[in-house]
Structure 1
Amino acid sequence: MLLKALLLRMRRTLDADVFMPLYPKNILENKNSGPYLFFQRQFWSSGKLLGNFLQWYGILSNQTLQELCIDGLLNRHILMAFQNSEYGEDSMKKAQSWFSNLRGDKTISQLENSCRYLAHLADTIYRHSIGCSDVEKRNAREHIQQVIKLLASTRALDHAVTVANDHNVKEVKILIEGKETFPTTHFEL
């Protein structure tokens, strides 16, 4: 009965308490504005909730956790925040992975949207670095390498290799094997 009550409360929280506002990107450019601050607060609250939900790994079934964490929170709310964020530092900070030690060479299907977002983020970072100074190009390359690490940490090795090939990152094996450099919450599936 306790687990049923817990699961009911978790679902009710997703439906009633989690809200991610939709603002045009130009509204979010002013980092001191009310909409920007509210948007950031909502994002980080959702991220904290995701971490709290993942603490129930091993107690709740994997299918239930996937439904709550990935379908209900990550794909429905957090990914929207990623897409409304600026590319670069802010996006990289937000995109740190909460999932690690996923088995196999491919990510679970529910994480495909976030993998596609990360691949798009790498493309956006690259496009914005064209014609920039060498320092900015080096920073962009480091961000793309971080994207590859994030993809590898979610076991999306196919996406990681594609991004590495698209952006001529030769040290992909080192990046994939060095995936432990990001703080993660363990979630095996």
Structure 2
Amino acid sequence: MEQSRCLVSVCQNLQDDYLIFSGNQSKPAKALLEAVAVRMRSAVDVDVFIPLYPAKFLDDASSLQFQFQDKQFCSAVKLLHNITLWHSLVPEDVLIELGLNRLLSRYLMITLRNAPCGEHAVEKCKKVAACFPKSWFEHVSCCPSIPELQIFSKHLLQTAHALCKSPHASTRDTVSELLILLRNMKALDSVTEIVEKYHFEGF
């Protein structure tokens, strides 16, 4: 990840100082961004593998199956972060195709939906949400501006509903974390739905 940060930082500095990635790009600049996109596509199509296991294995955080799936999930999240690091340089449609349509929808969402509802599942959601550039939610009023993110925000809402129906009082703190994620994504209708139905305060 550090190598990706360094490369993006160098490219961003070149963009800020010389605008080499804007307008009519030079052949070297265009070739660089195309090479980055090709590498991203290869990583998503070839490197990502997240196994699915029966719930009885995933209920036990100490099981080898849980630990292996969690490791693979974290690797995929790291790749998503590396992809979205390029949000101000690589065309947005490329990032959405690779990061959201392929990586998030094809791999990460399946894992999230099959995870037992609880703190571990919420931690996974937080790791995914941390990958999204803040610029994606600027100048947005009440819902994610990128349709592909609505699948994720709906999952957060469904998870919040499921946790609110739990008899454990401690789940309210966990739900609060989901509400913060939804608020940051500007999914304000979902926040209002949970707050009003389950009487949360401070949102």
**TM-score, normalising length: structure 1:** 0.81
In the TM superposition, what is the alpha-carbon distance from 1:158 to its structure 2 partner? 1.8
Structure 2 residue 115 is matched with structure 1 residue 85: yes
Q: Number of paired residues?
A: 165
- Counterpart in the other structure of 2:196: 165
Q: Indicate if the aligned counterparts of 1:20 and 1:81 stay in contact, CA closer than 8 A.
A: yes
Structure 2 residue 166 is matched with structure 1 residue 128: yes
- Counterpart in the other structure of 1:175: none
Aligned mates of 1:28, 1:143 — CA distance in 2: 19
- Deviating 4+ runs (over 4 angstroms): none
**TM-score, normalising length: structure 2:** 0.75
Structure 2 residue 88 is matched with structure 1 residue 50: no
* SS of residue matched to 1:95: helix
Structure 2 residue 188 is matched with structure 1 residue 150: no
Q: Which ranges in structure 2 are unaligned for 5 or more consecutive residues?
A: 1-30
Q: Which ranges in structure 1 are unaligned for 5 or more consecutive residues?
A: 130-135, 173-189
In the TM superposition, what is the alpha-carbon distance from 1:49 to its structure 2 partner? 0.8
In the TM superposition, what is the alpha-carbon distance from 1:148 to its structure 2 partner? 0.9
What is the aligned-residue identity percentage?
Answer: 28
Structure 2 residue 151 is matched with structure 1 residue 113: yes
Aligned mates of 1:141, 1:34 — CA distance in 2: 30
* SS of residue matched to 2:55: coil
Backbone CA RMSD of aligned residues: 1.5
- The one-letter amino acid of 2:125's match is A
Choose which of 11, 15, 20 in structure 1 pairs with 2:41: 11
